[in-house]
Structure 1
Amino acid sequence: MAVPLVIDSLDFACNAEVRRGKIAIARFQRLQDYLANNSGELGYAVTGALDANGRPVLRVDIQGVVSLQCQRCLEELEHVLDIHTELLLAQNEQELQSLDEDEFVDCILAQPEMDVLLLIEDEIILALPVSPRHEQDECMPGGGREDGKAIREASPFAALAALKKTH
């Protein structure tokens, strides 16, 4: 098992440090509930910096492809991730609350031992669609059946439709 990547978020930002690499999708425990399969890996870069006002920020960039389940046809769906987030670091709870009032600023509490993998996983989960779907013309008809007939015939309303046609 790989060693967790832990940083002191304020020092990391103030010293303009950078961490980048690739992570196996299987390492993200909470993300597994959203995936059709956990194969592959994602590229990431976490960059510390000071914003235009001299406040510490973390820039999180994530690229790759995850496999979700289409909610229309229930087949596998490849979802491209291209995430670019800037997170302002609040030094205490009071600062966090005051910064959270600005809807245009994403803010997190600075931590002396921040797990970068958890931060990356949070950003991935936030970027996933609520109801992933193929484009209408890409889905297999009938909820994944090649011909679509099996589902229509098994419908409880099929008998009603037949009665309606005869009367």
Structure 2
Amino acid sequence: MSANTPEMLDAWRMVAARRSFEGRLPLSAMTRLRDLLVDTEGEARFQIEFDHDSLQVPYVELRIDAELPLTCQRSLQRFLLPVSIVQRLGLVRDEADEAALPPEYEALLVPEDGMLRLAELVEDELVLSVPVVPMSPGSEAVEREWPAQEEELAKASPFAALSSLKKN
């Protein structure tokens, strides 16, 4: 993480102070994300802003930009998936408070001590952005029919042996 960005922050103090941070986090430092990537070359750039909205809902807004190295499942080649995330997380103390959040907010359950790890917030959002089946934007789907030979069809038919008995 960047030298000027603290590793852990008190969420409630940051909201009261309306603080914001920005930094860079190497992909190699994200252990959960690492398993989804081809390699760990590169970094994620992030901005985190703590505040409360007009309804006095405390939130943290994340802006993350990264290029994730993935394997295309069509071509099996490495490609970089550009990721640009803007996510507003409503800070809640209890799961019951989640229902009171505006619809455009995702809930973030803050631990009792109020401490949040910035690297974990960034990594969580990047893990969620990885597609289930990664495909390079330039790759084309293989849409071709491969007709079976008549010999194969005859062998595959369970009635092929009966047709030979009928001819005799």
Query: TM bucket by the smaller chain?
Result: 0.7 to 0.9
Deviations 1:12-42 (A, max 9, x none): 1221111111111100000011101110111
Change (3 A) 1:99 1:131: farther
For 2:2 and 2:18, locate their aligned partners in 1 and report how far apart those are by CA, in whole Å. Answer: 25
For 1:80 and 1:2, locate their aligned partners in 2 and report how far apart those are by CA, in whole Å. Answer: 21
Show the counterpart of 1:29: 31
Q: Compute the displacement of 1:6 (Å).
A: 0.5
Corresponding letter in the other structure for 1:108 = L
For 1:36 and 1:42, locate their aligned partners in 2 and report how far apart those are by CA, in whole Å. Answer: 16
Corresponding letter in the other structure for 2:29 = R
Show the counterpart of 2:123: 121
Matched residues, number: 148
Change (3 A) 1:53 1:28: same
TM superposition score normalised by structure 2: 0.75
For 1:50 and 1:5, locate their aligned partners in 2 and report how far apart those are by CA, in whole Å. Answer: 22
For 2:141 and 2:88, locate their aligned partners in 1 and report how far apart those are by CA, in whole Å. Answer: 38
Q: Would you say the 8 A contact 1:99–1:107 is kept in 2?
A: no
Percent identity at matched positions? 21
For 1:6 and 1:117, locate their aligned partners in 2 and report how far apart those are by CA, in whole Å. Answer: 9
| 1:10 alignment partner, one of 8, 12, 18 | 12
For 1:49 and 1:2, locate their aligned partners in 2 and report how far apart those are by CA, in whole Å. Answer: 22
User: SS at the partner of 2:35?
Assistant: helix
Corresponding letter in the other structure for 1:66 = L
TM superposition score normalised by structure 1: 0.75
For 1:60 and 1:66, locate their aligned partners in 2 and report how far apart those are by CA, in whole Å. Answer: 17
* 1:71 equivalenced with 2:76 (yes/no): no
Q: Compute the displacement of 1:9 (Å).
A: 1.1
Q: Compute the displacement of 1:138 (Å).
A: 3.0
Q: Would you say the 8 A contact 1:99–1:105 is kept in 2?
A: no
Q: Would you say the 8 A contact 2:2–2:25 is kept in 1?
A: no
* 1:51 equivalenced with 2:53 (yes/no): yes
Deviations 1:129-152 (A, max 9, x none): 2211024x53698xxxxxxxxxxx
User: SS at the partner of 1:47?
Assistant: strand
Q: Compute the displacement of 1:104 (Å).
A: 3.6
Change (3 A) 1:125 1:99: farther
Show the counterpart of 2:164: none
For 1:104 and 1:18, locate their aligned partners in 2 and report how far apart those are by CA, in whole Å. Answer: 21
Show the counterpart of 2:162: none
The runs of 4+ residues in structure 1 deviating greater than 4 Å are 1-4
Cα RMSD for the two superposed structures:
3.0
Show the counterpart of 1:152: none
Q: Would you say the 8 A contact 1:66–1:81 is kept in 2?
A: yes
Structure 2 gap ranges (5+): 154-168
